[in-house]
Amino acid sequence: MNQNTSVYDSKPWTKHYGQAIAAQLPVPQHANLAELIRVSEVRFAQHKAFTTCLPNGMYGTLTYAQVAEYADAFAVYLRECIGLAAGARVAIQTPNCLAYPVVAFGVLKAGCVLVNTNPLYTATEMAHQFSDSGAEALVIVDMFANKVEGLLAKTAIKKVIVCEVPQFFPAIPRAVIRSVMKVWNQVLPAIGIAHIRLASALTEGARAAQAKNIDVAAYTAGIGRDTLAVLQYTGGTTGVSRGCMLTHGNLLSNRDQVHAMAGSQIVEGAECVLTALPLYHIFAFQVNLMSFYAVGAHNVLSPSPRPIGNLQRALENYPITWISGVNTLFNALLNEEWFSAFPPTKLKAAVAGGAALQHPVAERWKRVTGTTIAEGYGLSEAAPMVSFNPLTGLQKPDSIGIPAPGTEVRLVDDEGQAVAQGQPGELIVRGPQVMAGYWLRPEETAQAIRDGWLYTGDVAVMDADGYFKIVDRKKDLVLVSGFNVYPNEIEDVIAQMEDVLEVGVIGVPDARTGEAVRAYVVTLRDGLTEDAVRAHCRKHLTDYKVPKAIEFRSELPKTPVGKILRKELRAEYAKAQDAR
């Protein structure tokens, strides 16, 4: 340990907790997630829990009591009707819809392990995740159920349950929606595998519960905070996704940390949160689903925020108080005339994560909505929140804020030694939210977690107040003539240009400088030139940071959450060079 360690051990950020943030996490209240879910179901039984709002304004809503009824029935179905044991993995592959919380809570109440799966996965990606996790049951939306054909023999899946986007809608709107999807949009393919519909599974579960006089709470009576709850898959160093083992304690502790950072602005039973990010992503799963469910919020679910106009009815028809999202989502909303002209009037704040929040977007959001975008930082391996910008007191817009209570953070060099305050270093984390490890990958676990510290792979700096700023991913660092160049910095500068909608920056091989900066730009209108972009960059960046090449695109590759995929831009560039 070197002399710089004390800079982080003294936790300078705690002086900014003030009255709104408790310095210590509360004594754990729940042994497992099922207990947390049941408490909210009783406290807020008659409150609206979830609404799926479609772009055409049609919607379906479930109360907390209804969610409890259906989730209990699904838990019984898993345990009694298909015979799963405690700890069995159950994959869920749906967009945001009412079926998701019912199934997810049912899995947790059954004492099983939830495996979140992107519904847009290809058959190859699905086969890997299902076989790797050892999932024994799959809940999949009908729009993509045909992708399972040919995969089951390679997995341990014994039952496929099919749900639908308008699940639990009133009969007439549901029939209209399904007719349009099937006949007009032709997005409901024939399903050529043995399956059961979710509605039938719930009926079977309810009958079994009544016939056997089952107390669903008994399924989780022996489950504690160290028990595995969720397998959250994330990209691996080999390119193959790996499952982060998140325990009940990881997720419950992180829920307490989220509430510690934002709870002073939350009124229990009175909040309305817009969930545009997919619930299968750890950010939305923890913040929108678990954390807001615990305080009795009404969660408005959008099955797809693309195009961004899909969110218009939700924002106009519901008293949205919170929005979570990524930079691209907020930027897209700000470029919609209907949003800028009539921003949500009840909004308290927006929460950003998943990718760097660009300064021009944050400033414009403040002007348009009168509220702040509070940027935080997290990763799947930390369930996910590590830090957050306080909603009261000192706020720093170009920062990921301060570590949550119960979280230790250091910045270290390549030898693992703490760097001085103000110097860039890899951000490492220790706390109750850090995962148990990677599923079936002891070597990668040992590389990621050393002496109890999670090595994130993100480069950050800490200022004198203890506020952190992400400089970039270590793997995205560009070395130009030996100088470190961070793509985030260049992207933020280019995004300041009023004709720029989106920008992605990567490093590419260069015979003279080792690597060179290459920028990909999406414009709001025609006319922007490479010379204009470079001239703008030279006003704000030293010469070696100015992009050597600029390519204009109609769109950039993104994750389902909306994070720009630099690795795909690098792969595209390498493929183009190989083809020459």
Domain CATH number, residue 68: 3.40.50.980
Encode pLDDT of 403-431 as tens digits.
999 999 999 999 999 999 999 999 999 99
Name residues whose C-beta falls within 8 Å of residue 511's C-beta, 6 or more positions apart in sequence: none
Domain end marker among 223, 253, 278: 223
> In whole angstroms, what separates CA 150 from the centre of its chain?
30
Q: 492 in a domain, yes or no?
A: yes
Q: 299 in a domain, yes or no?
A: no
Q: 381 in a domain, yes or no?
A: no
Q: 142 in a domain, yes or no?
A: yes
Alpha-carbon distance 222 to 217, whole Å? Answer: 10
What is the percent of the chain with per-residue pLDDT over 70, rounded to a whole number? 99
Q: 110 in a domain, yes or no?
A: yes
Domain that holds residue 571: 478-578
Please list, residue by residue across 211-232, b when 16 or more beta carbons sit within 10 angstroms of its beta carbon and e when fewer do: eeebebeebbeebebebbbbbb
Q: 200 in a domain, yes or no?
A: yes
Encode pLDDT of 178-194 as tens digits.
999 888 888 899 999 99
- Please state the three-class secondary structure of 86-143 as a single string: CCCEEEEECCCCCHHHHHHHHHHHCCCEEEECCCCCCHHHHHHHHHHHCCCEEEEEHH
pLDDT at 112 over 80: yes
Alpha-carbon distance 365 to 258, whole Å? Answer: 23
pLDDT at 237 over 60: no
Residue 14 burial (C-beta neighbours within 10 Å; 0-12, 13-18, 19+): middle
> Hey, what are 437's tokens?
């490890």
The CATH number that applies at residue 487 is 3.30.300.30
Encode pLDDT of 485-518 as tens digits.
889 889 999 999 999 999 999 999 988 888 999 9
Name residues whose C-beta falls within 8 Å of residue 496's C-beta, 6 or more positions apart in sequence: 359, 360, 536, 540
Domain end marker among 175, 202, 223: 223
Domain end marker among 170, 201, 223: 223
pLDDT at 47 over 80: yes
Q: 211 in a domain, yes or no?
A: yes
What are the backbone angles phi and psi of residue 159, rounded to the nearest 5°?
A: -150, 135
- pLDDT score of 235: 67
Task: Report the 10 Å Cβ neighbour count for 450.
Answer: 12
Alpha-carbon distance 220 to 104, whole Å? Answer: 15
Confidence of residue 238 (pLDDT cuts 50, 70, 90): very low
Instruction: Of 43-52, 105-114, 324-333, give the lowest mean pLDDT range.
Output: 324-333
The answer to whether the CB of 141 falls within 8 A of the CB of 28 is no
pLDDT at 37 over 50: yes
Q: 439 in a domain, yes or no?
A: no
Number of domains in the chain: 2
- pLDDT score of 138: 98
Residue 203 burial (C-beta neighbours within 10 Å; 0-12, 13-18, 19+): middle
> Hey, what are 396's tokens?
């720093």
The answer to whether the CB of 99 falls within 8 A of the CB of 198 is yes
Confidence of residue 15 (pLDDT cuts 50, 70, 90): very high
- pLDDT score of 483: 77
